[in-house]
Structure 1
Amino acid sequence: MHTRRTPRRTRAASRATVGLLAAAALLVSGCSSGSSTTSTSTGNAAEAALAALPRATPSALSPYYGQKLTWRSCGVSGFECATLKAPLDYDKPSAGDIRLAVARKRATGKAKPLGSLMVNPGGPGGSAIAYLQQYAGIGYPAGVRARYDMVAMDPRGVARSEPIKCLDGRQMDTYTETDVTPDDQKETNALVGQYKKFAEGCGAHSARLLRHVSTVEAARDMDILRAVLGDPKLNYVGASYGTFLGATYAGLFPKRVGRLVLDGALDPSLSARDLNLQQTAGFETAFQAFAKDCVRHSDCPLGRKGTTPAKVGTNLKAFFRKLDAHPIPTGDADGRKLGEALATTGVIAAMYDESQWPQLREALTAAMKHNDGAGLLALSDSYYERDGKGRYTNLMFANAAVNCLDLPAAFTGPDQVKRSLRSFEKASPVFGDGLAWASLNCTYWPVKPTGAPHRIEARGAAPIVVVGTTRDPATPYPWAQSLSRQLASGRLLTYVGDGHTAYGRGSSCIDSAIDTYLLRGTPPARGKRCS
């Protein structure tokens, strides 16, 4: 079963642990939280924009803005950790606190630091602290790390910050294995039943948090951290869903924007259905690139030199149908077999980073020619962040909780999905039907959404760099184009290539442009393109 998210892998991350996965879910866009934002229906998104908060800090929030952090060593050399307090409910600050995990690594250079550089790898649900400790704090360019204190905070409901809980490992295994291309009413009922069970589990185990994990609230938490760190403005690099979080911050606090990089941008003006449909087309674009590359290699099991991408897709779909009827062994200690759902997720996981294409060819060859599903299962497990002992991180739980609060569900039920299948299958003959049915994941959510689609303009903000990759599967390039136009000070930086996000993935042109902006404050030239 595909849960809508967009993992981000850097070059370092793709070779390291699953903990470096980051994700930005499909169903993330426009948001509101009580009276602090503008909430509109989908039809009015073109007219509505996120409203900035008052510049003065409300007196009820002063204790939070004035708190002192107690830093301590946190087990990874060179890193310190602390706990930040924020109001659970910004509309009712007296109702109680939420405790948020924070980590930092001090600037390594001797020159005067430029302040803090906050990072977020995406999700929603990706651990920013794990990303900082395993990549950003050691893998970002030395010049950037020399001048900035590298800082991360797990957003509310994520990882170390009072994590959302929903299902246990065995329940999640069942959830991820459920067929998302139902052939009859029985299979449709089974799929709906799993979505309901997931939602009910979240409601039962995380009732206190479930209404208070919106992107707006997470952005407001970031402003408290900015103030507590002593930074007059926020410097930030956000990838994938992290771009939505950063753009939301800019919309709420435009005068507090320092140097913001939004890499792999989301478009906050789109409805959940449109986001899903456009991302489906993005995966098709990425698959077409993979297909063209695959047939150039002698070990491609989906075709040989000269085979068209369309035929490669047809061959893959035929393999998926075969698995739907007859799952194959994987050697998994828990006895899991590779069915259509897990296989499709494995293929999707490899679309995010072209460096994984050889691994995907190998996994498909083993499955199609040797009846061995271990390789595709490993790719699927990495997507869901499942370890070898059957334990899942809370990534998928937080992912759904934030998404389903930020936007109304894409569909009201199976009948709407059925009516939309043709448009999804047109967007992607390979993945369309499965991604359409996966869009039901918020339909049965136990709390109502607080957000709606709208534009983010952030009028008065300093220049904001928006990065888009032309063949990005998860955050299609048009989303970056749209966000850069919405932001009054947006500056689009384009990477002509494959994969999800661009910074730190091998393009010296992209890296140089972003480093110059972060270190000198000079944004890329308008219309700058790298390849």
Structure 2
Amino acid sequence: MTRRTRVRTLSVRARATALALVLTLGLSGCVPLFLPEQAPTTSVPTGEKVDADLEPFYNQVLKWSDCDDGLQCTTASAPLDWADPGSGETVDLALVRHPATGTRVGSLLVNPGGPGGSGYEFVKDSLDYATDAKLQAGFDVVGFDPRGVGRSSAVSCYEPAEMDEYLYGLATAPRGSDAWIQELSAAAVDFGAACQENTGALLEHVDSLSAARDLDLLRAALGDEKLNFLGYSYGTFLGATYADLYPERVGRLALDGALDPSTSNAEVTRVQATGFENALRSYLADCLAGEECPFNGTVDEAMATIGALLASVDVSPITAADGRQLGANTLLTAIIYPLYQATAWPNLSEMFASVLRGDADLAFQFADGYNGRSDDGTYRDNATEAFLAINCIDYSYNDDPASMRAQAAEIEQAAPTIGKYMAFGDIGCANWPHQFDGERSEIAAEGADPILVVGTTNDPATPYVWAENLSEQLESGHLVTFTGEGHTAYNKSNACVNSAVDDYLLKGTVPAEDPMC
């Protein structure tokens, strides 16, 4: 097999926030069938004064149509380029809402993360996972696809067979060698060129700053004076960016599974590698204490077994029933997918057992779940493409081999078992068609109303230290800590977290101090 295996950081990839349902609760996203008959079919904009070239966007009237299970759907319009909103070029933003079932407080926009996660599908298919009954009673829960994502004007790069090659293929040169770097760099350049050709002008404007400006437009078009927002994972960065741009328009922002806005791409990878390594150790401690664990001995010995397994398939891949070959990068994706939620750990044991027997099929099922690939080889959405396109212009990257090797050594030292397979992430974006123009820095959002930040102590994807950092950076930040495992905490941890978030979003009440849930 020729070149392949996309090297990427696994940074703040929130597909698992929604798709962990497949491995854990098996939820289908049930939506309550009893909705208020008087639910509005149009949204009246606030009518606030804005520059003349923004008036068509801020004063647009959203016309909603009925969707499945009593939901309502619409499409909003936003300027393609916020630096030139009068150019006439626009993007579509897809929205779906579940009207409040009780006394309405306002609209609550929800973002599941990513970047690249579909808020539209999150609310449409997993409403009860995104929000609890209290929030559904008080708010019109609104899911939206950010620019570049899903049903909105979307990034498009490869056909399914090409995506298979890019995601699952194997490099021919030894990992870390000059030839390996050149191989992956060439693949990344080809991928970026395809994204540019198939996406067009939009590709330059899928950055988070533009998406945060879209949020303000949606707030106004929905008729809300201030933004109420529930953001998970990457959604916390989107919400914090909004707060920094429009502190006076911050209503109630709950940011769960926080990303530190000032963290560089290299630091994201190092900290996440540490987070997933720690989560893997926690899984093993639990597994070894049980009766049906595919490992023996101590946690350290089991970690060594996993390390040897990754090294083995890196050199001698296992062929699956469909002909695909399981290499180390794909196996790592399969390992990471169920680490997002501790309730999926039994599934991880089953996967490890199958791979240790020489069977790659279940590992590919997990990797496919993470990547949004269906059994027929098609992809359910463009989340992978959007993830790369957004990240590539939200961070700075360096393709100097010496620098990448130095960073790789740091990552491997921080995460001795899996760090080797998360390194060299800069390759994917260093030669992207559009480069980051700015500087990653702390966000204070001076003058904003209180903002709630939720962090889980052993969150592998967005480690707890980032929640601590963001809550300290925000002038009005308030931290709620969940002591436990898994990625994000609201509506999936305990009553303490749920009460803190519900009281804040519904009443504006923030804890006097961190409740340490």
* TM-score normalised by structure 2 residue count: 0.90
C-alpha contact 1:178 1:191 (8 A) present in aligned 2: no
Deviation larger for 287-296 or 359-368: 287-296
Q: Contact (CA 8 Å) 1:302, 1:316: kept in 2 or not?
A: no
Structure 1 residues 2 and 366: CA distance shift in structure 2, 3 A: same
Match of 1:132 among 123, 147, 157: 123
Determine whether 1:267 maps to 2:237. Answer: no
Measured in 1, the distance between the counterparts of 2:209 and 2:145 equals 15
Residues 203 and 102 (structure 1), Cα distance of their counterparts in 2 relative to 1, 3 Å cut? same
Q: Does 1:84 align with 2:72?
A: no
The question of whether the paired residues in 2 share the 8 Å contact of 1:473 and 1:499 is answered with yes
Kindly provide the CA deviation profile for residues 162-182 of structure 1, in whole angstroms up to 9, marking residues without a partner as x: 110111111111112245871
Question: Contact 1:265–1:475 at 8 Å: present in 2 too?
Answer: yes
**What is the distance in 2 between the residues matched to 1:384 and 1:19?**
19
Match of 2:317 in 1: 327
Which aligned pairs between 1:513-528 and structure 2 lie closer than 5 A? 513-528=500-515
For residue 506 of structure 1, what is the aligned residue in structure 2? 493
AA at the equivalent of 2:377: G
Matched position secondary structure for 2:228: strand
Q: Deviations over 1:231-259 (max 9, x none)?
A: 11111100000000011111111111111
State the alpha-carbon separation in 2 of the partners of residues 138 and 424 from structure 1: 33
Q: 1:326 to 1:366 in 2, by over 3 A?
A: same
Residue in 2 aligned with 1:487?
474
Amino acid in the other structure paired with 1:368: L
Contact 2:129 2:491 (8 Å CA) reproduced: no
Shift of 1:134: 1.3
Residue identity opposite 2:467 in structure 1: A
Gaps of 5+ in 1: 21-54
Aligned-partner residue type, residue 460 of structure 1: G
DSSP 3-state at the match of 2:452: strand
1:45 is aligned to: none
Residue number among 194, 204, 208 corresponding to 2:201 in the alignment: 208
Secondary structure of 1:315 counterpart:
helix
**156-165 or 314-323, which deviates more:** 314-323
Contact conserved, 2:7 with 2:427, CA < 8 A, in 1?
A: no
Q: Write the distance in 2 (CA, Å) between the matches of 1:336 and 1:121.
A: 30
Does 2:347 correspond to 1:363? Answer: no
SS in 2 for 1:492: strand
Would the alpha carbon gap of residues 138 and 320 (structure 1) be closer, same or farther in structure 2, given more than 3 Å must change?
Answer: closer
Q: Give the C-alpha shift of residue 356 in structure 1.
A: 1.3
Tell whether the 8 Å contact from 2:23 to 2:347 is kept in structure 1 after alignment.
Answer: no
Residue 233 of structure 1 aligns with an amino acid whose one-letter code is: K
Is 1:156 aligned to residue 147 of structure 2? Answer: yes
Name the counterpart of 2:361.
Answer: 374
The one-letter code matched in structure 2 to 1:428 is A
Distance across 1 between alignment mates of 2:514 and 2:140? 31
Q: What are the within-5 Å matches in structure 2 for residues 157-172 of structure 1?
A: 157-172=148-163
Say if 2:105 is the partner of 1:114. Answer: yes
- Residue 124 of structure 2 aligns with an amino acid whose one-letter code is Q
Q: 1:192 aligns with which of 173, 177, 185?
A: 185
Residues of 1 paired with 2:169 and 2:430: CA distance? 17
SS at match of 2:482: strand
How far apart, in 2, do the equivalents of 1:176 and 1:138 lie? 28
| Residues 354 and 65 of structure 1, relative CA distance in 2, 3 Å threshold | same
Find the aligned partners of 1:273 and 1:179 in 2 and give their Cα distance: 24
Cα shift at 1:480: 0.5
Aligned residues: 486
Deviations 1:93-115 (A, max 9, x none): 12211111111111112x3x100
Separation of aligned partners in 2, 1:146 and 1:18: 20
1:9 aligns with 2:2: no
Q: Is the 8 A contact 2:28 2:126 kept in 1?
A: no
For residues 430-487 of structure 1, what are the alpha-carbon distances to aligned partners after superposition, in whole Å with 9 as ceiling and x for unaligned? Answer: 1111111234221120112133211111111111000011111111111100100110
> Percent same amino acid among aligned pairs?
39
Instruction: Determine if contact 1:179/1:187 at 8 Å carries over to the other structure.
Output: no
- Once the two structures are superposed, what CA deviation does each residue of 1:24-64 show, in whole Å capped at 9, x if it has no partner? xxxxxxxxxxxxxxxxxxxxxxxxxxxxxxx9622221111
Q: What is the identity, as a one-letter code, of the residue corresponding to 1:338?
A: L
Q: Distance in 2 between matches of 1:13 and 1:493?
A: 27
Q: Distance in 2 between matches of 1:525 and 1:13?
A: 37
* 2:266 and 2:407 in contact (8 A); partners too: no
How many angstroms does 1:287 deviate by? 1.5
AA in 2 matched with 1:78: G
Tell me how far apart the structure 1 counterparts of residues 22 and 113 of structure 2 sit (CA, whole Å). Answer: 14
Question: 1:318 aligned to 308, 327, 330, which one?
Answer: 308
Aligned pair partner of 1:478 in 465, 469, 490:
465
Amino acid paired to 2:312: K
Distance 2:164 2:98 in 1: 36
Do the aligned residues in 2 keep the contact of 1:179 with 1:340 (CA within 8 Å)? no
Shift of 1:327: 1.8
Matches of residues 93-492 of structure 1 in structure 2 within 5 Å? Answer: 93-95=85-87, 96-109=89-102, 111=103, 113-136=104-127, 140-179=131-170, 182=175, 184-304=177-297, 307=298, 309-332=299-322, 335-369=323-357, 371-392=358-379, 393-409=381-397, 411-492=398-479
Question: How far off its partner does 1:325 sit?
Answer: 2.4
- Distance change >3 Å, CA 485–CA 139, structure 1 → 2: closer
3-state SS, counterpart of residue 208 of structure 1: helix
Alpha-carbon shift at residue 183 of structure 1 (Å): 5.3
Is the 8 Å Cα contact of residues 448 and 476 (structure 2) preserved in structure 1?
yes
- Taking the aligned partners of 1:105 and 1:85, their CA distance within structure 2 comes to 20
Q: What is the one-letter code of the residue matched to 2:188?
A: Y
Are residues 481 and 191 of structure 1, via their aligned partners in 2, closer, same or farther at CA, if it must alter by over 3 Å? same
Alignment deviations for residues 342-382 of structure 1 (CA, whole Å, 9 cap, x no partner): 1111001122111111111111111102x111111111111
Alpha-carbon separation, structure 1, partners of 2:515 and 2:164: 45
In 2 relative to 1, CA 416–97 (structure 1 residues): closer, same or farther, beyond 3 Å?
same
Deviates more, 1:91-100 or 1:322-331: 322-331
**Residues in 1 aligned to 2:221 and 2:51: alpha-carbon distance in whole angstroms:** 16
Structure-1 separation of matches of 2:438 and 2:346: 40
- The more displaced of 392-401 and 519-528 is 519-528
- Shift of residue 16, structure 1, vs aligned partner: 6.7
- Would the alpha carbon gap of residues 139 and 419 (structure 1) be closer, same or farther in structure 2, given more than 3 Å must change? closer
CA contact (8 A) 1:105 1:137 kept: no
CA gap 1:355/1:439 in 2 versus in 1, 3 angstroms: farther
Verify the 8 A CA contact 1:413 1:443 in the aligned structure 2: no
Does the aligned pair in 1 maintain the 2:54–2:86 contact within 8 Å? Answer: no
Separation (CA, whole Å) in 2 of partners of 1:13 and 1:170:
24
Structure 2 stretches lacking a partner, 5+ long: 1-5, 30-47
Matched with 1:26 is none
Quick check: 1:514–1:524 contact (8 Å CA) kept in 2? no
Distance in 1 (CA, whole Å) between partners of 2:22 and 2:324 is 26
